[in-house]
Amino acid sequence: MSLLAFRDVDSFYGRAQVLRGVSFEIGAGERVAILGRNGVGKTTVVNTFLGIASLGKGEITLAGKPSGRIRNYTAARAGISVVPQGRRIIGALSVKENLVLGSAVDRKGSWTLERVFNLFPILRERQDTSGTALSGGQQQMLAIGRALMANPALLVLDEPSEGLAPVIIDELADVFVRLAGEGTSLLLIEQHISLVRRVAQTYHMLSKGAVVESGTLAELTDEQLKRHVAV
Protein backbone atom coordinates (compact mmCIF):
# COMPACT_ATOMS: atom_id res chain seq x y z
CA MET A 1 0.00 0.00 0.00
CA SER A 2 1.10 3.54 -0.67
CA LEU A 3 1.89 5.32 2.61
CA LEU A 4 2.57 8.73 1.07
CA ALA A 5 2.15 9.92 -2.50
CA PHE A 6 2.57 13.31 -4.16
CA ARG A 7 1.02 13.66 -7.61
CA ASP A 8 2.07 16.72 -9.59
CA VAL A 9 2.16 18.88 -6.46
CA ASP A 10 2.71 22.63 -6.50
CA SER A 11 3.08 24.26 -3.12
CA PHE A 12 3.39 27.77 -1.78
CA TYR A 13 4.28 29.95 1.19
CA GLY A 14 1.78 32.75 0.71
CA ARG A 15 2.21 33.67 -2.95
CA ALA A 16 5.77 32.34 -3.21
CA GLN A 17 5.81 29.04 -5.07
CA VAL A 18 8.41 26.49 -3.91
CA LEU A 19 7.39 23.03 -5.22
CA ARG A 20 6.68 22.62 -8.93
CA GLY A 21 4.92 19.50 -10.15
CA VAL A 22 6.48 17.15 -7.59
CA SER A 23 5.49 13.47 -7.83
CA PHE A 24 6.78 10.53 -5.80
CA GLU A 25 5.41 7.63 -3.82
CA ILE A 26 6.51 5.62 -0.79
CA GLY A 27 5.12 2.14 -0.28
CA ALA A 28 5.20 -0.11 2.78
CA GLY A 29 8.72 -1.27 3.59
CA GLU A 30 10.42 1.24 1.29
CA ARG A 31 13.35 3.52 2.17
CA VAL A 32 13.38 6.63 0.06
CA ALA A 33 15.73 9.65 0.08
CA ILE A 34 15.06 13.18 -1.07
CA LEU A 35 18.29 14.85 -2.09
CA GLY A 36 19.30 18.31 -3.24
CA ARG A 37 21.20 21.43 -2.26
CA ASN A 38 20.18 23.92 0.43
CA GLY A 39 17.01 25.80 -0.37
CA VAL A 40 15.73 23.57 -3.22
CA GLY A 41 12.54 22.70 -1.33
CA LYS A 42 13.29 19.46 0.54
CA THR A 43 11.77 20.61 3.84
CA THR A 44 8.88 22.11 1.91
CA VAL A 45 7.92 18.58 0.81
CA VAL A 46 7.42 17.81 4.53
CA ASN A 47 5.78 21.17 5.20
CA THR A 48 3.26 20.51 2.43
CA PHE A 49 1.92 17.24 3.80
CA LEU A 50 1.94 18.78 7.29
CA GLY A 51 -0.17 21.68 6.01
CA ILE A 52 2.48 24.33 6.81
CA ALA A 53 3.03 25.17 3.12
CA SER A 54 -0.17 25.34 1.10
CA LEU A 55 -1.05 22.89 -1.62
CA GLY A 56 -1.82 24.43 -5.01
CA LYS A 57 -2.42 22.07 -7.90
CA GLY A 58 -1.90 18.35 -7.47
CA GLU A 59 -2.87 15.76 -4.92
CA ILE A 60 -1.35 14.25 -1.80
CA THR A 61 -2.50 10.87 -0.57
CA LEU A 62 -1.79 9.70 2.97
CA ALA A 63 -2.14 5.97 3.71
CA GLY A 64 -3.79 5.58 0.30
CA LYS A 65 -6.49 8.21 0.86
CA PRO A 66 -6.60 11.68 -0.71
CA SER A 67 -5.65 14.06 2.08
CA GLY A 68 -8.35 16.67 1.43
CA ARG A 69 -7.83 19.64 3.73
CA ILE A 70 -4.69 18.94 5.72
CA ARG A 71 -4.75 19.70 9.44
CA ASN A 72 -1.81 19.53 11.79
CA TYR A 73 -2.62 15.99 12.97
CA THR A 74 -3.68 14.53 9.58
CA ALA A 75 -0.31 12.99 8.74
CA ALA A 76 0.28 11.61 12.24
CA ARG A 77 -3.15 9.93 12.28
CA ALA A 78 -2.34 8.41 8.87
CA GLY A 79 0.81 6.85 10.37
CA ILE A 80 3.42 9.39 9.24
CA SER A 81 5.71 10.77 11.97
CA VAL A 82 8.20 13.52 11.32
CA VAL A 83 11.55 14.09 12.99
CA PRO A 84 11.85 17.76 12.09
CA GLN A 85 14.95 19.63 11.03
CA GLY A 86 16.37 21.25 14.17
CA ARG A 87 14.63 18.59 16.34
CA ARG A 88 12.18 20.96 18.13
CA ILE A 89 12.72 19.47 21.57
CA ILE A 90 10.69 21.21 24.27
CA GLY A 91 13.06 22.47 26.97
CA ALA A 92 10.31 23.06 29.52
CA LEU A 93 9.56 19.32 29.46
CA SER A 94 11.72 16.43 30.67
CA VAL A 95 13.07 13.79 28.30
CA LYS A 96 10.29 11.44 29.39
CA GLU A 97 7.60 14.11 28.93
CA ASN A 98 8.90 14.91 25.44
CA LEU A 99 8.55 11.21 24.61
CA VAL A 100 5.06 10.91 26.05
CA LEU A 101 4.03 13.89 23.91
CA GLY A 102 4.71 11.74 20.85
CA SER A 103 1.99 9.30 21.88
CA ALA A 104 -0.68 12.04 22.01
CA VAL A 105 -1.83 11.15 18.49
CA ASP A 106 -3.25 7.94 19.98
CA ARG A 107 -2.36 5.48 17.21
CA LYS A 108 -2.19 1.84 18.17
CA GLY A 109 1.11 0.00 17.83
CA SER A 110 3.97 -1.60 19.69
CA TRP A 111 6.04 1.46 20.66
CA THR A 112 6.21 2.17 24.40
CA LEU A 113 8.52 4.24 26.60
CA GLU A 114 10.26 1.01 27.54
CA ARG A 115 10.92 0.11 23.90
CA VAL A 116 12.30 3.59 23.15
CA PHE A 117 14.52 3.35 26.24
CA ASN A 118 15.80 -0.02 25.01
CA LEU A 119 16.61 1.52 21.61
CA PHE A 120 18.33 4.56 23.18
CA PRO A 121 19.49 3.59 26.72
CA ILE A 122 20.90 7.09 27.34
CA LEU A 123 17.33 8.44 27.27
CA ARG A 124 16.39 6.10 30.13
CA GLU A 125 19.36 7.37 32.16
CA ARG A 126 18.47 11.01 31.51
CA GLN A 127 14.67 10.69 31.48
CA ASP A 128 14.09 13.29 34.21
CA THR A 129 16.37 16.02 32.80
CA SER A 130 15.16 18.83 30.57
CA GLY A 131 14.99 17.75 26.91
CA THR A 132 17.27 20.59 25.85
CA ALA A 133 19.91 19.75 28.49
CA LEU A 134 20.93 16.79 26.31
CA SER A 135 23.79 16.86 23.79
CA GLY A 136 22.93 17.35 20.11
CA GLY A 137 23.15 13.63 19.36
CA GLN A 138 21.01 12.76 22.39
CA GLN A 139 18.43 15.37 21.36
CA GLN A 140 18.27 13.74 17.93
CA MET A 141 17.67 10.37 19.63
CA LEU A 142 14.92 12.03 21.68
CA ALA A 143 13.32 13.49 18.53
CA ILE A 144 13.42 10.04 16.90
CA GLY A 145 12.03 8.39 20.05
CA ARG A 146 9.22 10.96 20.24
CA ALA A 147 8.30 10.28 16.60
CA LEU A 148 8.31 6.51 17.22
CA MET A 149 5.93 6.94 20.18
CA ALA A 150 3.26 7.83 17.57
CA ASN A 151 3.62 4.30 16.13
CA PRO A 152 4.41 5.39 12.57
CA ALA A 153 4.23 3.24 9.48
CA LEU A 154 6.44 5.87 7.83
CA LEU A 155 9.15 7.79 9.68
CA VAL A 156 10.25 11.03 8.00
CA LEU A 157 13.74 12.24 8.93
CA ASP A 158 14.62 15.80 7.93
CA GLU A 159 18.42 16.24 7.95
CA PRO A 160 18.97 14.02 11.01
CA SER A 161 22.77 14.26 10.70
CA GLU A 162 22.84 18.07 10.91
CA GLY A 163 25.45 19.26 13.41
CA LEU A 164 26.35 15.76 14.64
CA ALA A 165 29.76 14.07 14.93
CA PRO A 166 30.53 11.26 12.44
CA VAL A 167 30.48 8.60 15.17
CA ILE A 168 26.95 9.64 16.20
CA ILE A 169 25.80 9.69 12.57
CA ASP A 170 27.05 6.09 12.25
CA GLU A 171 25.08 5.10 15.36
CA LEU A 172 21.93 6.73 13.97
CA ALA A 173 22.44 4.94 10.63
CA ASP A 174 22.49 1.63 12.55
CA VAL A 175 19.22 2.61 14.24
CA PHE A 176 17.56 3.55 10.91
CA VAL A 177 18.64 0.26 9.33
CA ARG A 178 17.29 -1.59 12.37
CA LEU A 179 13.94 0.25 12.24
CA ALA A 180 13.65 -0.50 8.53
CA GLY A 181 14.41 -4.16 9.25
CA GLU A 182 11.52 -4.16 11.73
CA GLY A 183 9.16 -2.88 9.02
CA THR A 184 9.13 0.92 9.41
CA SER A 185 9.28 2.74 6.08
CA LEU A 186 11.65 5.69 5.90
CA LEU A 187 11.74 9.00 4.07
CA LEU A 188 15.20 10.46 4.54
CA ILE A 189 15.98 14.06 3.65
CA GLU A 190 19.74 14.40 3.81
CA GLN A 191 22.86 15.90 2.35
CA HIS A 192 25.18 13.45 4.17
CA ILE A 193 25.60 11.03 1.31
CA SER A 194 27.26 8.13 3.13
CA LEU A 195 24.28 8.08 5.52
CA VAL A 196 21.89 8.13 2.56
CA ARG A 197 23.78 5.31 0.82
CA ARG A 198 23.59 3.15 3.97
CA VAL A 199 19.91 3.75 4.64
CA ALA A 200 17.96 4.45 1.44
CA GLN A 201 17.18 2.26 -1.55
CA THR A 202 15.86 4.88 -3.96
CA TYR A 203 16.15 8.66 -4.30
CA HIS A 204 14.48 11.68 -5.82
CA MET A 205 16.72 14.64 -6.61
CA LEU A 206 15.17 18.07 -6.16
CA SER A 207 16.37 21.18 -7.94
CA LYS A 208 14.52 24.51 -7.78
CA GLY A 209 11.42 22.85 -6.37
CA ALA A 210 11.15 20.13 -9.03
CA VAL A 211 12.18 16.46 -9.13
CA VAL A 212 14.92 16.34 -11.76
CA GLU A 213 16.12 12.76 -11.31
CA SER A 214 14.93 9.59 -9.60
CA GLY A 215 16.51 6.17 -9.32
CA THR A 216 18.25 3.70 -7.07
CA LEU A 217 21.16 4.68 -4.84
CA ALA A 218 23.16 1.81 -6.32
CA GLU A 219 22.95 3.52 -9.73
CA LEU A 220 23.58 7.07 -8.51
CA THR A 221 27.08 8.08 -9.56
CA ASP A 222 29.36 10.54 -7.77
CA GLU A 223 29.23 12.70 -10.90
CA GLN A 224 25.43 13.03 -10.67
CA LEU A 225 25.79 13.80 -7.00
CA LYS A 226 28.30 16.58 -7.60
CA ARG A 227 25.93 18.13 -10.10
CA HIS A 228 23.05 18.38 -7.63
CA VAL A 229 24.38 18.14 -4.08
CA ALA A 230 27.30 19.79 -2.35
CA VAL A 231 29.56 16.81 -1.57
Ligand X SMILES: Nc1ncnc2c1ncn2[C@@H]1O[C@H](COP(=O)(O)OP(=O)(O)OP(=O)(O)O)[C@@H](O)[C@H]1O
Interacting residue ranges for ligand X, rule: CB under 6 A: 13, 16, 18, 36, 38-44, 85
- State in angstroms the smallest separation of the CB of 61 from ligand X: 21
Closer by beta carbon to ligand X, 42 or else 96: 42
- State in angstroms the smallest separation of the CB of 50 from ligand X: 11
- State in angstroms the smallest separation of the CB of 228 from ligand X: 11
The 3-class secondary structure across the chain, one letter per residue, is: CEEEEEEEEEEEECCEEEEEEEEEEEECCCEEEEECCCCCCHHHHHHHHCCCCEECCCEEEECCEECCCCCCCHHHHCCEEEECCCCCCCCCCEHHHHHHHHHHHCCCCCCCHHHHHHHCHHHHHCCCCEHHHCCHHHHHHHHHHHHHCCCCCEEEEECCCCCCCHHHHHHHHHHHHHHHHCCCEEEEECCCHHHHHHHCCEEEEEECCEEEEEEEHHHCCHHHHHHHCCC
- State in angstroms the smallest separation of the CB of 40 from ligand X: 4
Closer by beta carbon to ligand X, 41 or else 137: 41
